[in-house]
Chains A and B, each alone.
Chain A
C-alpha cells in the first residue's frame, strides 16, 4: 500500500519504470489513441469491445473504458477473456486455476475487439487469446493494447496501442501493479536475484 519514492533503489534490485501518475497518464494517452484509431463516437464507426486478459488486463480494460467515456461520452462494452485453457505451456507448470471469462451481454460478433493486457512479452498469451476469441465468436477485427511492451517476441504478434516500450533483458521481470489488485499503481523492473 505504501507509496514509493520514484528513484528509490530497492534492495531486491527493482527499479520503478512508471509511477502511479505515469500509469494514469499512460492509460489516458492510450484511450485517446483508441478513440482516434477506431473513430469512436463518429457516426458509422463499428462497435468496439474491450476484452481484458486476466488478471491485470481486466482492470486495465475497465480504466481504458472509463477514460474513453470521459473523453468522448461513449460507453464501450468491457469484458474479460481467460486464456488459461488455450495456453501452450500448461504441461510445463503445476495446474493453473482458471481466470474469469465474462463477455459483454451483446457478445463480440462483428465488433472491433481490442484485447487489453498488462505486459507484452513472448506473444504466447496473445496467441492463446486469439484462439480463445475464435471459439467465443467472430469479431470483425481484433486489435491489441498493452501497458508495457518489453520485447523478446517469440511469435509474429505486435500491439496496436503501447503504453510504454521498455527494453529489457530476458532474465528481468516486469511487474505491473494496479490498485484494484495490488493496492497501488506502479510498473517495476525486477532484476534476477543472482545479478545483485
Chain B
C-alpha cells in the first residue's frame, strides 16, 4: 500500500488489516509507561494542513511520534503557501527535503489525489487528511474501529449518518468503508443537505430521524458546516436542531446497545444535546483515542514494509 487517499475502492481485506493492526497497537501500548515504538525510526512524516484542525493534525503527529518517525508540521499560515506557492511546488519541496510521507488536508476536493500523482516520482506516500467535501479516510477507519470495539463487528449492523451529508467528507468516507465492511447505512438529512446523485450511493435515504432511531446499532451525528454554506440550506438553526438534532428525548428512542458517534468538533445544542454527547452511549472520546491507533496503523502499512510500488 503506497497511499491512503480514499475509502472508495479500498478493499475490505486491507481495511480490516489496518483495523487489526490498530487494535494490536492499542493492546501493545495499553497500560505502558513508555508509549513509544521504534518501528518507523528514521522515517520522516510531514503534515501539511491548509485548513484548520485540532484533532486530526494532533492525532497524526502523536501517531507518527509514537512510532518514532520524525514528524514535521507545515501549516498554510506560517509557510510559503502564504506567499502564493502552489500545492504542487510545496509538495515537491517537502519531498525533496526528505519526506517519506506527506499528510495533506486541503479545501479542494481531489487535492490529495493530485499531490500523490505529483509525488509519485519522488516515491513519497500521501495520506488524505481531508480534501474539501470529498473524503477523510482515516476518520472513517477510526469510526469503524470504534464501532468494532463497541458492537463487536460491523457486518450486518445498521448505521445512520445524520445531518450535513452534502458538505461532509466524513460521511462520504464512512459510506464507502462501512458498506464495504457489510454495514447497512442510512443517511438522514433534509433534502437540501443531501448531495446530488445520492440515489446512486449504496445507502438508504430518510428524512425522518425519529422513525430510524429504534432500528439502529449506531448513529453518527455530523457537524453543520456553516463555513461551507453560502445560502439558506435550512430555515433556522433552531428548526434544524429540533428536526435533526439528537436530543435527550430522541436518544431514548435508540436501542439499549446503540452507540452515538460524532467526528468532532461538536456544536453542542445544535446537532447534539450536551447530555447525549456526555452519556455512556456516546463514544466520542473513544473515537479520538482510536484515531491515534488507527493513524499509527496506517503509517505502519504505508511505511514499515518493503516498497511494493503499487
Binding site for B on A (CB under 8 A): 82, 85-86, 90-102, 131, 135-136
Contact = CB atoms under 8 A, between A and B. Distances in A.
20 contacts: A85-B300, A86-B38, A90-B39, A91-B304, A91-B305, A91-B306, A92-B306, A94-B305, A94-B306, A96-B305, A97-B17, A97-B20, A97-B21, A98-B21, A98-B25, A100-B24, A101-B28, A131-B38, A135-B34, A135-B36
A102 B37 CA distance: 16
Contacts of A101: 24, 27-28
Contacts of B306: 91-94
Interface in B258-310: 300-301, 304-306, 308
A93 to B, nearest CB: 6
B1 interface: yes
B304 A90 contact: yes
B17 A85 contact: no
Interface string B14-45: 00010011001101100010101111000000
B24 A82 contact: yes
Contacts of B27: 100-102
Which 6 residue pairs of A and B lie closest in terms of their CB atoms, listed nearest first?
A: A95-B305, A98-B24, A85-B39, A85-B37, A101-B28, A90-B304
Contacts of A82: 24, 28
Contacts of A99: 24
Interface of B: 1, 17, 20-21, 24-25, 27-28, 32, 34, 36-39, 300-301, 304-306, 308
A77 to B, nearest CB: 15
A158 to B, nearest CB: 24
Contacts of B304: 90-91, 95-96
Given A91-B304, A96-B304, A97-B24, 10 more contacts: A85-B28, A85-B39, A85-B300, A91-B305, A92-B306, A94-B308, A98-B20, A100-B27, A101-B27, A131-B38
Contacts of B37: 85-86, 135
Contacts of B24: 82, 97-101
A113 B272 CA distance: 50
A85 B1 contact: no
Contacts of B305: 90-91, 93-96
Contacts of B25: 85, 98
B90 to A, nearest CB: 27
A122 B222 CA distance: 53
Nearest to A99: B24
A71 B242 CA distance: 70
Contacts of A96: 304-305
A91 B301 CA distance: 11
A131 B37 CA distance: 10
A86 B38 CA distance: 6
A136 B35 CA distance: 9
Contacts of A98: 20-21, 24-25, 28
Contacts of A90: 39, 304-305
Contacts of A131: 38
B38 A95 contact: no
Contacts of A91: 304-306
A174 to B, nearest CB: 24
- Residue of A82, A86, A91 with highest tally of chain B CB at under 10 A: A91
A91 B43 CA distance: 11
